Structure 1
Amino acid sequence: MSSPQPQETGGSDPSATSRGPLPLKSQDFEAYQYTHLKEELHEIRLLTLLPGTFSSDIRLCLDITPLTADHVPEFEAVSYAWGSACDPVNIFVGKIGRKTLPATQNLAEALQYFRYQDKPRTLWIDAICVNQQNPKERSQQVNRMADVYSKAARVVVWLGPESDDSSLAMDCFDKIASKVKVDWTTRSMSAITHEVHWGDRVTESPLEPHEMLAINHLIYRSWFERLWIWQEVILASEHTQVMCGTRTTLWNSLRATVFWLYVKNHPWFSEAAQFFLRIQQLYNLCLGKKGLRSNDLIHQSRNCICTDPRDKIYALISLLHESDSIGIEPDYAKNVYEVYQDAVSSIIGSSRQLRVLTTVELHEDLERVPSWVPNLMAARRCNKLPLYDARSSTIHTLLIDSLGKVLKVEGIAAAVIEQVEPFWVHNTSLKDTRPELKRIARRMGLQGAAVQSRQFKAFARAASADEYAERCYPPPNGGPTAAQIEMVLHDILETDINNDLAGFHESTLALFKHYCRGRSLYLTKDGVPGLGPLAAKKGDIVTVLLGSGSAMILRPTQEGNYKLVGEAYCDGFMHGEALLGPLPDSFTAVFRHNPTHGDYFWAYLDQETGVFQAEDPRLGPLPPGWSIKSHKNEQFWQIFVHNQTGVARVKTSRDPRLSWEALEKRGVPLQVFDLV
């Protein structure tokens, strides 16, 4: 099957006339009746967009065809924003006749641009090729969308007509992609011309402010907010095309631009704050990885928009890592929270991990929904915390009561919260971050001599979520060091002057705000600072649960159960201390980059020798019957083999020394928490 050339676009000229397709009128049109699709034959519908001028009525033919591994018809799949259903437009089905389908004005406008003047064009468009009035067919076809977008000769992304200097933005995409080469595996870039400054992260961006504004306007179009685009572009071929008006570019050019904008040093401009917020969101999308972990995928797509809230799960199924496979199919007969609850239960059961619970924020207004089920219909109030290594193993058993409401989890109660101070900064400016941190620190007793104390250092780690440059190896460019974080916090607490932001002061304040916004800082009864959910309150319990790398805050109920409040940082408990005790003085836990896979893994650095190891120095010998199999990347990976069965467990999440039985032998006071 030959792929369409990326530069090919619709041949209609929108400047020829201003008249577009007419809105529906009370004429005697006959509504098109869909023919039944045979699921057992793996059938889909394809539309043939018939040729015509830009302003002529839109006519198309609908045909049924199998889509299988052995039969892949040539077609293009369209990715677009549906738009409002108000004032629909007539789409005529058949070369002649009066059978019609309603289409949103956004879709009708896109079809005008897609249509060739002299030849037909075969497309798959969900609103037309799926009978949206048939819930059973809709469920079946949604389950096939991964097939459709991965088997299409090309995916065409429609951003809308030209406006707000969109042509300039498209020019910038092509220009940047012609200057740099991006390696998404290693997350690096290099110049591909003699103009080496384009590939240098430190050198200031050569883009002009008006070019940055044009890009900002384009990336805030509604298409970039859609949830379904994650599946549509991640599963698509390398020929994916982005179209805005009559201008086109390749998706890979847009991806390269997003990476470049994400890592490059940029001067400030009028809409910089919202610009970099959107670039951060698009960076996750442009990583373009199938096989993401459930919590990462849900976090990254949490604030995306979809018409049906059940699609918060269904749109992501095909992108999940195989270990997080949830084994459910789209079923629009189920209510929203039933879908969410089924998904969470399935993810925990298949992964033997609780990491999906980090997506939860307490929702006390939903009485019949268990607290451990995330309300994905609500926008997330805070940013995801970094990845920690509380050294909790996989879950021992998965127990959910017969009604599916009580989730039994195992772990240790590490601390009780004594004081909670919400961080009340919601705007995009950094100017309110200093006084708010100062207010909270003083209420926690950090002033005067206390600014030099161990608690001050712990507060600095909590306010920054322990996200300092040395935490990663090699350290990222531009991130503040632990010493710089403490220096900025000391300046905040000891001076009344709101100094001009410069250098690491600005980046450190941005770091504080990134993690504290929408959260609360707290103190435990032992005086340990932490960072938790906005809903945290005095009396809540900080726990380390088996199967979760983060600390989790639980709230006791009068019935002896617990509600899940959300994920947290608690100083002194994020690297396995609650289960294994402190690390030896010479060792530190480091998030080490593996250039082969482009991922980061926890490793232990012996600061005396400079040697990294995957083995936790606190763990003793393996229990009888177990051995470690050598791995070519032994600094990153460990493979544990059960000698009798031959079963292999990879990495520390499967370490038999972290099982329930092994931890009990170490004297760890494990208990069961019933989450309701």
Structure 2
Amino acid sequence: MTDCVVYDPLPVGYIRLLTIDCDDSQFLSGCLETVPLEDAPPYFALSYSWGAHKQDVPIYINGMALSISRSLAGALQRLRALAMDETESNQNIRVERMWIDRICIDQGNISERSHQVEYMGHIYSRAIRTLIWLQHEPEFYAAWQLLDKIYDVFRKEHRHAENLTDIPFRMYSDAYHASLGLPGWRDDSWESLRRLGQQLWFTRVWVIQEAVLSQQDPIILCGQVTYPWHRLGWVASWMRRNGYLRLPQVPNQLQNVDTIANIRRSSNCWRLDALLVATSIKFHATDQRDKVYALLGLAMERRTPKGIPDELTPNYELDVWQLYTNVARFLFRRYKTLPALTRTTGVKGDESRNQREYDFEQLPSWVPNWCDFTVVERMVAKSFSWVPFSGPTEIQTLGFPKHYNASSGLCAKFSDSFDPSVLRIHGLNIGKIVHIVQPAKQQSDEEYDHSSQMMSIWTTATRLLSSTNTATWIESYVKATTAEQYYLSGGTAEQFLQHGSAYLLRLLSHFPVQSMGVISPSDFQHLVNLLRVRSVGGDPELYSALAGNFCFNRSFFVTSNGYMGIGPSGAQVGDDIAVIFGGDVPYVLRREGNSFVFVGESYVQGLVNGEAVRDWRLGRLKEELIEVH
């Protein structure tokens, strides 16, 4: 079918609105009117999945045919029914005018698309509310009922919760799950929820701002079911804080719902770097430039008298690698911090690089790669950086846990480069990797047994025992293998030392002393005795869960100056460890000639609390200009 609709040019600051004809015709029809965005009549905005569906259903706009997908046609039929429904229960979503991107934007006009993308945040925030369209299957009823049960559990536990931080962290346990009265994992409702989560809407990057910017609580339309967004959002957030979202039985798409819900609950803006890191793995785009452009309506950077900075202005004539490089350089120089480096591509052979949908050869190694992943988030190495959700009124920024402070609060220090693909930045070269344990291979989206990897890590780490106090060595080992992120379990550092000691004691009980590598029998016995003391009150399963989280798809290494740490799966013996000004964690670099390739971020016990900067100030280390390409 050939589209016949002729779009009149849109004046600056104007949008088009669709009015659907309310009749019983088997054909969909309506008319478009051009209105100033700042003075538009009341309208609803539709959020739905474009996907890869064929555009083979006609809608007649101003008497001319336009091809749309069957999914969109289903949404329009439902909206037409709502517009014709006179019952009082539907007054809050009785639809007259709609804004729908596929219909209201001339998709064949690249210039118009770019300009309308700039307005997208205003378009959704000025709508009465966003209506979310999901395809319907009869079996989804069980999913909605399960969501209601989980929401009731959440509200019973946290009657007055308003923000994510009102729900304390808790590690998942089968016993706790059973005590809540929720269905067992073999119950069909979990499969129904999994199938509901497979709908493309939950992974489409554009839906983030479409749901977040809605003036009123968005409403989900799934067949004849109407479901308020806030209930789904709280379910996802409760499950996240209680450890459910790392389980393979739970649809990974609830991570996406939780992300949208947290952004929506924030009354203040998010910085673009925080939005990009929080969404780049979870959400997908047909056009990889939209991984940036779809977030601009939410970004703090656009809240200036001049609007969107030139470096961020939508331009679909740029290649993806050019856009990502421009955005990265803008972010680094604007904020002089480096947590966005958590999303770099990685070197060849790195598992993170293998998980990418696209490998842009021209993308410099230091530029974050926000393109689609081929796996769900739980299959990707967990980032060391995070968005702290410090409060609904705080600007949400990308950073690290407070006790990560490798560069002692120093800002990033850049030197000019004639080549835009080269980053020239200052820092301290600490040492080299001399021993390494590669991550265990993981082939599917299932729980994995990392005990063999932990045993290899143990054997490698014992190389440091002879030169380190045993108690200090145990503490370094536990902190390194959990990246010192004990707060994720709701515990303290001291408690996790107990948990880690209990795990190591259990692990070593299964192995004969002769398998312990370089450790002598007497030192081994001394270590076991100390672990018995340190493990009192410890839970090995809590340590195992957290260590499995952070060692997953990461290498463990020992450095030339006696540090142990975890880092990118692509790291190799001979790679350098550097503390770069503006970075709160050490980084792994690989020398190539007179410059470096960026390998990735790391956690190195003994380098995250400003130790390197202190030595530099005492004259023990020399500041270097590090050139990364």
Give the shorter-chain TM-score range.
0.7 to 0.9
Distance apart, 1:287 and its partner CA: 0.9
> Which residue number corresponds to residue 38 of structure 1?
11
Q: Structure 1 residues 482 and 665, CA, compared in 2 at 3 Å: closer, same or farther?
A: closer
Partner of 2:476: 458
- Cα distance change, pair 275–33 in 1 and its aligned pair in 2 (3 A): same
Native 8 Å contact 2:248 2:445 kept in 1: yes
Q: AA paired with 2:587?
A: M
Kindly provide the amino acid, as one letter, of the partner of residue 526 in structure 1.
N
1:564 aligns with 2:591: no
CA contact (8 A) 2:595 2:628 kept: yes
1:168 aligned to which of 142, 145, 148: 142
Which stretch of the first structure deviates more once superposed, 376-385 or 571-580? 376-385
CA shift at 1:278, angstroms?
3.9
1:375 corresponds to: 369
Shift in Å at residue 38 of structure 1?
Answer: 0.9
Task: Measure, in 2, the Cα distance between the counterparts of 1:253 and 1:392.
Answer: 42
Query: Which of 547, 569, 574 is the equivalent residue of 1:512?
Result: 547
The 5 Å alignment of 1:13-162 reads 24=1, 31-39=4-12, 42-53=13-24, 56-68=26-38, 71-86=39-54, 88-94=56-62, 97=63, 99-116=64-81, 118=84, 121-162=96-137
* Letter aligned with residue 162 of structure 1: E
Query: What is the CA-CA distance between 1:578 and the residue it aligns to?
Result: 1.2
User: Alpha carbons of 1:182 and 1:89: their partners in 2 closer, same or farther (altered >3 Å)?
Assistant: farther
Q: Name the SS for the 1:103 alignment partner.
A: strand
Residue of structure 1 equivalent to 2:383: 384
Structure 1 residue 46 displacement after superposition: 0.9
- Could you tell which deviates more after superposition, 549-558 or 233-242? 233-242
1:399 to 415, 418, 422: 415
Distance 1:482 1:564 in 2: 32
Alpha-carbon distance between aligned partners in 2 of 1:546 and 1:32, rounded to the nearest angstrom: 55
Q: Give 1:350-499 correspondences, 5 Å limit.
A: 350-364=334-348, 366-379=360-373, 381-386=380-385, 387=400, 388-395=404-411, 397-426=413-442, 427-445=444-462, 454-469=472-487, 475=490, 481-495=496-510
The residue aligned with 1:207 is 182
Q: For 1:507 and 1:293, locate their aligned partners in 2 and report how far apart those are by CA, in whole Å.
A: 33
SS at match of 1:377: coil
Task: State whether structure 2 residue 331 is matched by structure 1 residue 347.
Answer: yes
Q: Give the secondary-structure state (helix, strand or coil) at the position aligned to 1:306.
A: coil
Deviation at 1:373, TM superposition (A): 1.1
* 339-348 or 292-301, larger mean C-alpha shift: 292-301
Aligned partner of residue 144 in structure 1, secondary structure: helix
| 1:508–1:110 CA distance, 2 compared to 1 (3 A) | farther
Change in Cα spacing, 1:246 to 1:382, as seen in structure 2 (3 Å) is: same
Paired residue type of 2:203:
E
Once the two structures are TM-superposed, the CA of residue 566 in structure 1 deviates from its matched residue by: 0.9
- SS in structure 1 at match of 2:196: helix
3-state SS of paired residue (1:252): helix
Runs of 5+ consecutive residues of structure 2 not aligned to the other structure: 86-94, 169-174, 349-358, 386-399, 513-537
Corresponding position of 1:605: none
Cα distance in 1, alignment partners of residues 410 and 32 from structure 2: 50
Compared with structure 1, are the counterparts of its residues 520 and 189 closer, same or farther at alpha carbon in structure 2 (3 Å cutoff)?
closer
Deviation of 1:460 after TM superposition, in Å, equals 2.5
Structure 2 contact 427–625 (Cα < 8 Å) conserved:
yes
Read off the aligned partner of 1:423 and give its amino acid letter. Answer: P
Task: Give secondary structure in 2 for the equivalent of 1:275.
Answer: coil
Q: Which one has a larger percent strand, Structure 1 or Structure 2?
A: 1
**CA displacement at 1:227 relative to structure 2:** 1.2
Residues 464/144 of structure 1: CA separation in 2 closer, same or farther (3 Å cut): same
1:613 alignment counterpart = none
In 2, Cα distance between equivalents of 1:220 and 1:59: 30
AA aligned to 1:331 is N
Q: Distance in 2 between matches of 1:143 and 1:137?
A: 10
* Aligned partner letter, 1:286: A
> Do the aligned partners of 1:184 and 1:287 also contact (CA within 8 Å) in 2?
no
Separation (CA, whole Å) in 2 of partners of 1:540 and 1:376: 25
Q: Does 1:314 align with 2:293?
A: yes
- Cα distance in 2, alignment partners of residues 552 and 219 from structure 1: 36
Cα distance, 1:331–1:435 mapped onto 2, change above 3 Å: same
* Structure 1 position 674, deviation (Å): 1.0
Q: Residues 79-127 of structure 1, C-alpha deviation per residue, up to 9 Å, x if partnerless?
A: 1111224252111113xx4x11111222112212222263763111111
TM-aligned CA deviation for residue 505 of structure 1: 3.7
Paired with 1:206 and 1:76, the residues of 2 have a C-alpha distance of 39
Instruction: Say if 1:421 and 1:522, in contact at 8 Å, map to a contact too.
Output: yes
| Change in CA separation of 1:401 and 1:409 when aligned onto 2, cut-off 3 Å | same
Corresponding residue SS for 2:369: coil
1:329 equivalent to 2:313? Answer yes
Preserved CA contact (<8 Å) 2:134 2:199: yes
Instruction: Check conservation: 1:83, 1:106, Cα contact below 8 A.
Output: no
User: Quick check: 2:337–2:412 contact (8 Å CA) kept in 1?
Assistant: no
Please report how far the alpha carbon of residue 235 of structure 1 lies from its aligned counterpart in structure 2 after TM superposition. 1.9
- Deviation sequence 1:19-70 (CA, Å, 0-9, x none): xxxxx5xxxx76111111112xx001111122234x82111211111112xx
> How far 1:273 sits from its partner (Å)?
1.6
Residues 488-535 of structure 1: CA deviation (Å, up to 9, x unaligned): 1332244269xxxxx944443232222122221111112321111111
* Cα deviation, residue 204, structure 1: 3.1
State the Cα distance separating 1:295 from its structure 2 match: 4.0
Q: Give unmatched runs, 5+ long, in structure 1.
A: 1-23, 191-199, 498-502, 582-662
| Range moving further from structure 2, 251-260 or 174-183 | 174-183
Which amino acid is the alignment partner of residue 168 of structure 1?
A
Deviations 1:449-490 (A, max 9, x none): 999564443232222111224x99xx4599972220232133
| Pair 85,30 (structure 1): closer, same or farther in 2 beyond 3 Å | closer
Structure 2 vs 1, CA of residues 578 and 274 (structure 1 numbering), >3 Å: closer, same or farther? farther
CA distance in 2, matches of 1:535, 1:171: 44
Moved more, 516-525 or 393-402: 393-402
CA contact (8 A) 1:89 1:108 kept: yes
Deviation of 1:336 (Å): 0.5
Three-state SS of the structure 2 residue aligned to 1:31 is: coil
Instruction: Indicate the residue corresponding to 1:669 in structure 2.
Output: 622
1:151-300 matches, within 5 Å, as: 151-163=126-138, 165-174=139-148, 176-177=150-151, 180=155, 181=159, 183-185=161-163, 187-188=165-166, 204-209=179-184, 210=187, 211-264=189-242, 272-275=247-250, 277-288=252-263, 289=266, 291-300=269-278
TM-aligned CA deviation for residue 308 of structure 1 = 0.4
Secondary structure, aligned partner of 1:532: strand
State the secondary structure of the residue aligned to 1:463. Answer: helix
**Mapped partners of 1:218, 1:479: distance in 2:** 41
Any conservation in 2 of the 1:422–1:520 contact (CA below 8 Å)? yes
Say whether the 8 Å CA contact 1:441–1:447 is kept in structure 2: no
Is 1:302–1:376's contact at 8 Å kept on the other side of the alignment? Answer: yes
Answer with 172-181 or 301-310: which moved more: 172-181
Helix, strand or coil at the partner of 1:562: strand
**1:626 — aligned with what?**
none
Q: Is contact 1:390-1:549 (8 Å) kept? A: yes
Determine if contact 1:455/1:528 at 8 Å carries over to the other structure. Answer: no
**Partner SS for 2:574:** coil
Which of 529-538 and 154-163 deviates more? 154-163
Question: What secondary structure, in the 3-state scheme, does the structure 1 residue paired with 2:248 have?
Answer: helix
Aligned to 1:589: none
1:331 shift after superposition: 0.3
Aligned to 1:111, what secondary structure does the other structure show?
Answer: helix
Number of the residue aligned with 1:611? none
Distance 1:133 1:397 in 2: 44
Q: Return the offset for 1:243.
A: 1.6
- Residues 1:526 and 2:505 aligned together: no
Find 2:610's aligned residue among 576, 585, 600.
Answer: 576
Contact 2:555/2:568 (8 A) holds in 1: yes
Residue type at the aligned position of 2:17: L
Aligned residues: 538
- Post-superposition CA distance 1:608-637 (Å, at most 9, x none): xxxxxxxxxxxxxxxxxxxxxxxxxxxxxx
Aligned to 2:587: 552
CA contact (8 A) 1:182 1:259 kept: no
SS in 2 for 1:150: helix
